[in-house]
Amino acid sequence: MELLGSPASPFVRKCLVVLAETGQDDVIFTEVATTPMDTAAAAAAANPLGKIPSLIRDGGPTLYDSRVITRFLDHRAQAGLYPETRLWETLTLEATAEGIMDAAVTLVYEKRFRPEEFWYQPWLDAQWTKVTRALDALESRWMSHLHGPLDMGQIAVACALGYLDFRHGANDWRKGRDGLAAWYEAFAARPSMQGTVQPAA
């Protein structure tokens, strides 16, 4: 199997962390440079939406969307990252992390691909408000889950926070969120996280 993606993408990083955590070293990672404005041929061939990550399988159709891929990889390894006893909580936590990633990536794309005269600051502010609301929810409602047994919600949150450091470090997401910051510091030390740190911007 072959995973297509960019190491800078938090969605791709989620998949790479799962591969590392579950010991699936038989999946080849192929780096693909693609953007919403200039879709790489390999990305379009794997996913009609042209998005990454995509997982090309030998015995079935290509899978895309990080949540589909991580669910497949977890099932393949029987790793229990989507535990039945707390499945809905895990899925909700993963969705919260994905929302942070979506808003954070959107902010990057807005300034990278639109001329400055077309930037709309209220809309940019609204995207960051989504991020801060989600971070506040993690701090106030999810710390018990985050400190529990490893699951996909934790991996997704860690990848989302790592992306905030990578692309939005000046916004200081840790301020006023001491519990979340301490949890992330410990989680980020895991070998799977250390081995998938995004390249320098």
Mean pLDDT of the chain: 96
Q: Can you give the pLDDT at residue 89?
A: 98
Residues 25-35: pLDDT tens digits? 999 999 998 88
**What is the secondary structure of 135-156 as a DSSP string?**
HHHHHHHSHHHHTSS--HHHHH
Residue 125, pLDDT score? 96
Q: What is the pLDDT of residue 128?
A: 98
43-89 pLDDT, tens digit each: 999 999 999 999 999 989 999 999 999 999 999 999 999 999 999 99
Whether residue 100 contacts residue 134, with contact meaning beta carbons closer than 8 Å, is answered with yes
Whole-structure pTM value: 0.96
Listed as ranges, residues in the chain with pLDDT below 50 are: none
Given this model, what pLDDT does residue 200 score? 77
Amino acid occupying residue 144: S
Ordered domains of the chain (ranges, CATH): 2-77 (3.40.30.10), 84-190 (1.20.1050.10)
